Amino acid sequence: MDHRPSRPMTPVLTGVGVAAQVALIGWWAATGATVVYVVLQLMLLAAAWLVLLAMRYRRFRADYEHRIVTNTVLADRSRLADEMHDALGHELSVIALKAGSLQVRTTGAVHEEAASIRADVERAVDRLHRALEGVRGPVVEPVDAMIDRLVASGASITQIGRLPGRCSATAGSLVAQVLREALTNALRHAPGMPVTISYRGTPTGIAVEIRNPMPDEEPPPAPGAAGTGIDALRRRVAPLGARLSTADDHDAFVMTAQIPRHPRPLPAPEPGRRPSPLGETLRSALAPAAVAGVVLLGFYTWSVHDAVIEDQDFARLHTGMPTDAAADVLPARQAPVRLIGTAPHPTDWSCGYYTDGNFPLGMAVFEVCSHDGSVARVADLRKKSWL
C-alpha cells in the first residue's frame, strides 16, 4: 500500500501556512505584541517542519514497504530459478553431451541429426543459463559432484593431484567456477575429447590447469554461445585476486587459473540492516536540526556578549544616581535584541537596554535612561505585559 501524500496535499498545506502567516502579521500589527509574535512565528516554523518530517516519513515508509515486497518477489524468483536449474539444467547438459558423443562417433544422416540435436540443446542450455543468472547469481556446484556428474554422462575427465585441504571456502568456490566454465567450454567445442585437470599448490594459493585436445574440425558453436563466458569469469574473479589465462599448446586448449588461498573479500552491505522508516526520518532531520542548533547557539553567544546585567547589580541602580556611578554597574555593550516595548521618554534622554541572559534570544529586559548626568529612569521590562 502506498503511503505517499497525494499531490494536492502540498498546495493545500502551503495555502494553510500562508493564511496563518497573514493572520499572524495582521494580529501583530493590531496589538504590537512583538515577543508573542516572535514566539508564534517560531511555533509556526516548527509546525511546518513537523509536517515536512511527517511527509518524509510517509515517503520512507512507502519505500520501505516497496523494498519488502521487492525482496519477497526476488526470493520467490530465486527459489524458482534454483528449481528450474536442478530440474532442467542437468537433463539438458546430459542430452547435449550424449548428442556430442554421438556426433563424433557417427557419419552421414545420423551425424547431421546428432549435430542438430546438440545445437538445439546448447541453445536451450544457453537461454536457460541467461534466464537464471538474470534472477540470481551462478550456482556453484561442488567440484567432486560436478565431475562425477559429467563422467557419469560420458565425459572423459582425468584429475592429476587434489585440491589443497587448507584452502578457504571462497577459494574452493572460485575453483569450482573456473572448472565449470572450463569443462563447459571443452564439452561444447571439443565433444568426446579427453579433459585433464591438474592441481598444484603454490606458496600463495592454488594453480589449476585444464587441458583438452582440439578436434580436427571443431563443431560450429550454437548461436549466442560464442565464448564470452571465459572473459566474464575473468572479470568476475579478478577483484578477488585470482588470475585467469588461456592459451593454445600443441593442438590443445589450456586454461590456467591462479587462485589465492585466501581471496580478497568483496565489500558488501550488511544483510538485514535496512534502516527503518522512523530511523531514516530522524536521520534526515538530524542535519538541519544540528545546523539550526549551531546557528542559534552562535546567535545567543553574540547577543549576550558583554550585555548581561545580573539582578543584584540591577537592584543597585536607582533614579538620581550619577551616570558615572551607574556606568560602573552597567555592561559595556547593549543587548541588540529589543522586542519588548517601553514607555515613551523625552527626546533628550539617553537610554540603554540590557539583558539578563535569557535563552535563546538574549532579549533586552532592562532599561536605564539618563539625563543631565544622572539616571532618570530604571525599568524592569519583565514586569511589563508582553501582549
Is residue 23 a part of any domain in this protein?
A: yes
Does 172 lie in the same domain as 107?
no
Neighbours of 380 (CB within 10 A): 13
Does 116 lie in the same domain as 200?
no
Does 171 lie in the same domain as 147?
yes
Is residue 161 a part of any domain in this protein?
A: yes
Question: Helices marked H in 106-218 — which ranges?
Answer: 108-133, 143-152, 169-189
Does 174 lie in the same domain as 65?
no
Does 223 lie in the same domain as 346?
no
Does 174 lie in the same domain as 78?
no
Nearest CA-CA partner of 296 in 56, 53, 48, 45: 45
Is residue 288 a part of any domain in this protein?
A: no
Does 236 lie in the same domain as 153?
yes
Res 218: pLDDT: 55
Alpha carbon separation from 381 to 320, 339, 341, 385 (Å, rounded): 20, 10, 8, 8
Domain stops at, among 239, 264, 289: 264
Q: What is the DSSP letter of 383?
A: G
Per-residue pLDDT of the chain (387 residues; tens, 9 = 90+): 444 444 566 777 777 777 877 777 777 667 666 777 777 888 888 888 888 888 888 888 888 887 788 777 777 776 676 666 655 666 776 777 777 777 777 788 887 887 788 777 777 777 776 666 655 555 567 888 888 888 887 889 999 988 876 778 888 888 988 998 888 888 777 877 899 999 998 888 899 999 999 877 655 554 444 445 688 788 878 888 889 999 988 889 999 999 998 887 655 444 455 667 777 788 878 888 888 889 989 999 999 999 999 999 999 999 999 999 999 999 999 999 888 888 899 999 999 999 999 988 899 999 999 999 999 999 999 887 665
What CATH number does residue 254 fall under?
A: 3.30.565.10
Is residue 60 a part of any domain in this protein?
A: yes
Domain stops at, among 136, 159, 181: 136
Domain total of the chain: 3
Is residue 369 a part of any domain in this protein?
A: yes
Does 4 lie in the same domain as 113?
yes
**357-371 burial string, b = 16+ CB within 10 Å, else e?**
ebeebbbbbbbbbbe
Task: Flag whether the pTM goes above 0.85.
Answer: no
Does 76 lie in the same domain as 156?
no
Does 154 lie in the same domain as 122?
no
Res 230: pLDDT: 81
Does 224 lie in the same domain as 159?
yes
Is residue 98 a part of any domain in this protein?
A: yes
Res 5: pLDDT: 44
Is residue 284 a part of any domain in this protein?
A: no
Is residue 291 a part of any domain in this protein?
A: no
What CATH number does residue 311 fall under?
A: 3.30.1450
Question: Chain-centre distance of CA 104, in angstroms?
Answer: 54
Does 68 lie in the same domain as 109?
yes
Domain of residue 310: give its range: 304-383
Domain stops at, among 264, 280, 295: 264
* Grid-cell match 530511523, residue found: 279
Q: Which three cell numbers stand for residue 168?
A: 578457504
Res 139: pLDDT: 55
